[in-house]
Amino acid sequence: MTFNPLTPAIRERGIRFFKAIENKSVTGLTAAQFFFRYFFQRLKLMFKGEPDKLDYIAKNSMNRKCVLAVKNLFQVTVFLKSFDEIPVSEIPDYKAPKLTFEDVWIVFGIIASDLTLMQAILDKKVKIDKLAELAMIFIPIESLNPKDRLAKVKDQDMELLGQILAELGF
């Protein structure tokens, strides 16, 4: 799960958004939708002009469920329907793999590329339940070496993040 470092302006807006999540003026549903929408929509930028790769990701990563939780804040179930359609429900699915973050700023740190998901896992700031199933979502993406591609579309990536934040009013 690789992310580009944020530009100062986007970082500031992101901080405002995450503060709103922290003080519960933004719901967990919105927060989860923001995270997954950004994560999957930027794949379209990264693999632009390579529909076979996008098909491969869609085939392997989509139509799966995942629970996203932030301790003492929210727990939601995300259904990955397509790159653009990611419905979120407040009803927890106990069979689905689960990503539990110690606090909301760990999520921000990962998005802002201040730390990697692996670092957070090793520092015990993120707990994964049912990695095998969760990996089925992320492994197809990781297998396509997205890091180099991501750096190439940095400007568009920031534009996308800014656009999603703007849609949420931040």
Partner 1 sequence: MAEPPETEERKQKEKTEENIEIVPETAQDAKQPAGKPEESSLKPEDLIVGPLPVEELEFEERAKKLETVRKAEELKLAEENRKKEELQKEQERLQKLEEERLQKLEEERLQKLEEERLRKLEEERLQKLEEERALQAKREAEASVKSREVTPPETPPPIPESENLLLQGLVNLIQPALDIKMESKMYQIWIKGWDKAVQVHILNEGFMHVLIKDNQMKAAVGKAPREPDIAMEGEYETITNYLNGELDPILMFFDFILLRKMRLIKGLEIKLSSILNGNLVQQARILYRIDKILKLK
Judged by CB under 8 A, the number of residues near partner 1 is 25
In the complex, least distance from residue 73 CB atom to partner 1, rounded to whole angstroms: 23
What residues contact 66, with CB distance under 8 A and at least 6 apart?
77, 78, 80, 96, 97, 98, 99, 134, 137
Q: Is residue 18 exposed (0-12), middle (13-18) or buried (19+ Cβ within 10 Å)?
A: buried
Q: 103 and 118 in contact (C-beta within 8 Å)?
A: no
Candidate residues 7, 89, 130, 160; the one interacting with partner 1 per rule CB under 8 A: 130
Site membership for partner 1, residue 113 (CB under 8 A): no
What residues contact 80, with CB distance under 8 A and at least 6 apart?
36, 40, 61, 62, 63, 64, 65, 66, 86, 137
Q: How far is CA 141 from the centre of its chain?
A: 13
Window contacting partner 1 (CB under 8 A); options: 8-16, 17-25, 29-37, 141-149: 141-149
Site membership for partner 1, residue 63 (CB under 8 A): no
In the complex, least distance from residue 153 CB atom to partner 1, rounded to whole angstroms: 18
Candidate residues 142, 155, 159, 167; the one interacting with partner 1 per rule CB under 8 A: 142
Site membership for partner 1, residue 129 (CB under 8 A): yes
**Site residues, partner 1 (CB under 8 A):** 51-52, 56, 60, 116, 118-119, 121-122, 124, 128-133, 135, 138-145
